[in-house]
Copies of this chain bind each other. A is one copy, B any other.
Amino acid sequence: MKLETNNLKDVGLKVTIPRVKILKILEQETNNKHFSAENIFNILLDDGDDIGLATVYRVLTQFETAGLVIRHHFESENSVFELNNGKHHDHIVCIKCGKVEEFFDDIVEIRQQKIAKRLGYILTEHHLNLYGLCSSCKN
């Protein structure tokens, strides 16, 4: 039994063609692991698969609910989705080419907890997105 099939079964989703294909796309090892629904829809089209856009949205939302993927909102743009590898990280986005890189910084994480505590909050989540010009685009 293939990996994708297992993942789906594990989270209680039936193994259907759209789900398997979308999961495969998300698992691709590309230079950008962040996909919009439209992105995925177009990749499926190029592959000759006949899967509706509504299904792509539905499946991505189900994957999010199941914890298989994480949804992000960079700037004011559309939702983008990435496979959830279980390791928390934040993002830096190139404002020119759109490249998204991940990073994790202990000091920032600890500091956030301190800030929340000082203000009397129980911290449940945070979003830290850095925006700038990547090494290729800054020239």
A interface residue numbers (CB < 8 A to B): 71, 73, 75-76, 79, 92, 94-95, 101, 103, 105, 107-108, 111-112, 115-116, 119-135, 138
Main secondary structure of the interface of A (DSSP, over half): strand
Are B131 and A124 in contact (CB-based, < 8 A)?
Answer: yes
CA–CA, A120 and B108, complex, Å: 19
Question: Considering the chains assembled together, what is the distance between the CA atoms of A94 and B107 in angstroms?
Answer: 23
Oligomer copy total = 2
A134-B108 in contact (CB<8A): no
Q: Known: A76-B73, A128-B127, A132-B125. Is A115-B105 also a contact (CB below 8 A)?
A: yes
Besides A116-B130, A127-B129, 13 other A-B contacts (C-beta < 8 A):
A92-B121, A94-B121, A101-B119, A105-B115, A108-B108, A108-B111, A121-B134, A121-B138, A123-B130, A124-B131, A124-B133, A125-B132, A126-B128
Instruction: Choose from B107, B120, B121, B134 the contact partner of A111 (Cβ within 8 Å).
Output: B107
**In the complex, chain B residues whose CB is within 8 Å of the CB of A115:** 92, 103, 105, 108, 130
Contact partner, A135, options B120, B130, B134, Cβ 8 Å: B120
* Cα distance A52–B110 in the bound complex, in angstroms: 46
Partner of A95, one of B101, B124, B130: B124
Which of A101, A116, A121, A126: most chain B CB closer than 10 A? A121
